Structure 1
Amino acid sequence: MDAIVAFFNGLSSLGVSVVMPIVLTIIGCCFGAGFGKSLKAGLTVGIGFIGLNLVINQLMGTDLASAVTAMVNRFGLELSVIDVGWPAASAIAMGSVVGTIIIPLALLVNVVMLLTNTTQTADVDIWNYWHFAFTGALVAIVTNNVGLGIFAAIINEVVVLIIGDVTAPLVEESLGLPGVSIPHGFSGAYVPIAFAVNWLLDKIPGIKNINWDVRSMQKKFGVFGDPVMLGSIIGLVIGILAGYGLLPVTNSDGTTTQSVLYIAVAMGAVMVLIPRMAALLMEGLLPISDAASAFIQKHFSNRGKIYIGLDSAVGTGHPVTLTMALILVPVAVFLAFILPGNKVVPLADLACIPYMLVLITPIVHENGFRGLLVGIVVLAVGFYIATDLSPLITSAAANVNFDMGGAAAISSICDGANPLTWLIVRFGTIGTYIGLVVLAVGDVALALWNRKRILREAAELHEESAEAAAQK
């Protein structure tokens, strides 16, 4: 077991841009795509992830976060919990005892669910198993029981896989990703809220008829509706609110404060570069997806459609998602200031807002108005969750000797603001085992419901295939 854990920990430490080419090459060969074609597809995906990470980490995670920090300082927002960002959260998760075993364990659970028809998703995005480990690490702290932490991580995984199944048809239609699902522990956690808010909006007269079609608006406003111009205008507003000048300034500590014009250009670049990197990801995934679909239809006709589970990064390039994300960055800072009881200042994870919205976009059928309303709701809920979980996250960081940079309390938008993580953690505090047992029973019921849905879908596909063959 130690050797297995060490192998998967070593594989995970290579990072998503290296792990995904290896995993996709193996999967492509297993599905009969051929070594050369599979290798090229895997490398294309890896290159896409490198490009995407460069854009998001530098332009949003560094430049935009610096502007927001300046904005917070300028307006004197006194918030005591520091958003340390997802890299810190993942390091805390994978440094825990639960993190050491999560990759082989989660793979085993996924295989069992595939074999029992309780999921359609083959989740190859093993790097993002850290989301499950994060939940497990917090439960291990709150229960003082590592075994319950591991149990909680599995509960989290099962729910996320089923969410990936249910949203996969919407992902195919809206995001243009055939044969792909997004079983992402962060993005998927907001799906129930998105469905609930979207359902509620359908019941409100007048409101239900409002539809902001971002693509149509871009055409209507001409050059000012172009993604480049839209991103630059939003960047200009953020730079002005941050108090940036027309020229960069060298500070006394040797750091440089960028100009307002640079922030404007940088946000315009975000609107252009992220869709292009996402397109590169899709280009690499298509041969693997096609081979997987052909293989499943040939050998497992009774299992319905099988989806390749991928990082939600593949959906961040959608114009509605990107537009909403840039608008919601200043909104997030405003909410952090006005929400009574919130203690979290959003900083490092502002770059994660596009990931938060990836599955919301297809659920609201690309309606920008509804997407923004859902985004505001999930941000507000997220701030309260991040505030509530901050003591546990701070304890988890101390347990793995994570350097908190002098901060007394830390949290994150990803995954500290995760409603699914919060639900599992708080149920873990009910009795010794009672809360988690209740969740486990719910997991089983959800899996059985999903199995029934999958078998019904498989029967329908089989009938369609038989009718098509008969017509020929």
Structure 2
Amino acid sequence: MQYLASIVNFLLGLGAAVFVPIIIIIAGLIVRMKVKDAISSGITLGVAFTGMTMLINFMTGAITPAAEAMLETTGISLPITDGGWTTMSTISWSWPYAFLMFPLVIVINIIMLVLKKTDTFNADLWNVWGKIFTAVAAYYITNSVIIAFIIAGIQVIFELKSADFHQHRVEKMSGIPGVTCTHKMCFLAAPMYPVDWVLRKIPALNKSFNASDLKDKVGIFAENHILGFILGVLFGLLARYDVAGILTLGVQCATALTLFPVISKYFMQALEPISNAVSEFMQTKFSDRDLYVGLDWPFLGGANEIWLAVIWTVPVTLIMAFFLPGNQILPFAGIINIAIAVPAYFVTKGNVIRMLILCVIFEPAFLWVGTAFAPFMTELANTTKAVELAAGQMISCSSIDGPIQTYAFSHVMQFMDGNFIPLGILVVWVVCFVFYAKSLIKEKKEDEALAK
């Protein structure tokens, strides 16, 4: 067991930019790609991941000091430190049973493929930590490793089904055939769906209004570099920077928004060959089925709408953190909240206005869940010494992926102690998931009928 754990830890230590391409290269060879093509796709994917990570880190490094400056001017004290997703991942992997999650995820995927309960081959094994994160909370509530893994296994099943239902829309919106998204951040799309359904009943909001439409209406002001500069300047003003600082932040945001679509092209370049190879191979094995490759979210990074929503959510998060009852987390490392923008992008089909509204409505969930998870993550961090914390310091994340589902799944067993709130939230989430899935299935059938 210890030897297996060491191997897993070594592979994870390589980072997503190395680990995921290795998985893709191996998968390519299995589906009989030429060695040079498989290696080329894998390395190109590594380049894409690295480029996207560099840009996100660059953007975070530019915006976080401005957000911190805004916080300092308020004088409000919030006791929980925001460690972001990287710290949560580190702490999650320090759980003694974490390495067992790998075989669980793989076995469930294989069984569901064989039984024809999913059409998704999940290549995003890097994000196994998201299942561990849920399991850690479930373990600290129930004190049962078995229950923790059962709950994590149920999450895996929902991730695969979510990927199946989203695939058609993902392909249509990204332009990359044969891929889908298996990241659990997509779970937030389910409760967003009924809210968006109501918003679509408002005539002014039920029109196409994506980044291209925005460009048609306001011209040069919707160009990536101009829009990024404007947003950066506005954020610099809110942070009370001097003129030089304001202009610098403007250029930094302009740079990020200009380069995100450039990097996203490398995802398409890397993924299209492997997607085609998987499709051809599976046709020989499963002639009656189309199988898809499940991936992390960054291949969607070329969507300007996502980054507009991300930047918009920064001041929204800060303002809510000050005044939201029940919040105790100080937004910092998780301030760039992609986990709210991506599901909003899917649900609205890129309608920028509805995306911004949904981000405002659902941001409290991230702060509340981040606050709720602080005791578990702090205790695990202190027990394993995965992260050094000062005496009395608490740590969590202000942008936990799929916060509503994660909270409901991990806390559901509290009904045995008389707390039925997590169970009620879980029931509501499942109902939303079912109705959202039906809408995605209906959309796919309608598009296929039109294509005939």
TM (norm. structure 2) is 0.89
Secondary structure at the counterpart of residue 317 of structure 1: coil
Dislocated runs of 4+, deviation >6 Å: none
Match of 1:284 in 2: 270
Following superposition, the deviation at residue 108 of structure 1 comes to 1.4
Match of 2:19 in 1: 19
Match of 1:213 in 2: 210
Question: Counterparts of 1:430-441 in structure 2 under 5 Å?
Answer: 430-431=415-416
Matched, 1:195 2:193: yes
Do the aligned partners of 2:226 and 2:254 also contact (CA within 8 Å) in 1? yes
- Matched residue type, 2:197: W
Of the three residues 329, 332, 344, the one matched with 1:347 is 332
Match of 1:108 in 2: 107
Secondary structure at the counterpart of residue 359 of structure 1: helix
Match of 1:30 in 2: 30
Q: Give distance in 1, aligned partners of 2:147 and 2:225.
A: 49
Match of 1:251 in 2: none
Q: Give distance in 1, aligned partners of 2:373 and 2:401.
A: 7
Q: Give distance in 1, aligned partners of 2:63 and 2:332.
A: 9
Q: Give distance in 2, aligned partners of 1:347 and 1:77.
A: 14
Q: Give distance in 1, aligned partners of 2:81 and 2:204.
A: 36
Question: Counterparts of 1:146-161 in structure 2 under 5 Å?
Answer: 146-161=145-160
Following superposition, the deviation at residue 267 of structure 1 comes to 0.8
Following superposition, the deviation at residue 197 of structure 1 comes to 1.5
Match of 1:271 in 2: 257
User: Residue deviations 1:353-410, cap 9 Å, x none?
Assistant: 2343223213212111111111112212221222222222222322322223566222
Of the three residues 340, 352, 358, the one matched with 1:356 is 340
Match of 2:219 in 1: 222
Q: Give distance in 1, aligned partners of 2:270 and 2:391.
A: 42
Matched, 1:377 2:340: no
Do the aligned partners of 1:316 and 1:354 also contact (CA within 8 Å) in 2? no
Q: Give distance in 2, aligned partners of 1:73 and 1:354.
A: 24
Q: Give distance in 2, aligned partners of 1:3 and 1:50.
A: 29
User: Residue deviations 1:316-354, cap 9 Å, x none?
Assistant: 220111112112211221222232222222111122x23
User: Residue deviations 1:100-144, cap 9 Å, x none?
Assistant: 211222111111111111112111111111000000011111112
Secondary structure at the counterpart of residue 372 of structure 1: helix
Matched, 1:408 2:393: yes
Q: Give distance in 2, aligned partners of 1:112 and 1:8.
A: 22
Do the aligned partners of 1:171 and 1:359 also contact (CA within 8 Å) in 2? no
Identity within the alignment, %: 26
Following superposition, the deviation at residue 245 of structure 1 comes to 1.4
Secondary structure at the counterpart of residue 182 of structure 2: coil
Match of 1:296 in 2: 282
User: Residue deviations 1:60-106, cap 9 Å, x none?
Assistant: 2x221111011111122332222111110000111112322112221
Unaligned runs of 5+ in 2: none
TM (norm. structure 1) is 0.85
- Matched residue type, 1:291: A
Secondary structure at the counterpart of residue 172 of structure 1: helix
- Matched residue type, 1:32: R
Match of 1:39 in 2: 39
Unaligned runs of 5+ in 1: 248-258
Q: Give distance in 2, aligned partners of 1:407 and 1:210.
A: 51
User: Residue deviations 1:274-318, cap 9 Å, x none?
Assistant: 22112111210110001111122232023x321111111111220
User: Residue deviations 1:157-212, cap 9 Å, x none?
Assistant: 11122111111111111122211111112x2221212212112223x443543553
Match of 1:77 in 2: 76
Do the aligned partners of 2:339 and 2:400 also contact (CA within 8 Å) in 1? no
- Matched residue type, 1:336: A
Secondary structure at the counterpart of residue 151 of structure 1: helix
Match of 1:130 in 2: 129
Judging changes above 3 Å, is the alpha-carbon distance between structure 1 residues 123 and 407 closer, same or farther for their aligned structure 2 residues? farther
Secondary structure at the counterpart of residue 326 of structure 2: coil
Matched, 1:326 2:325: no
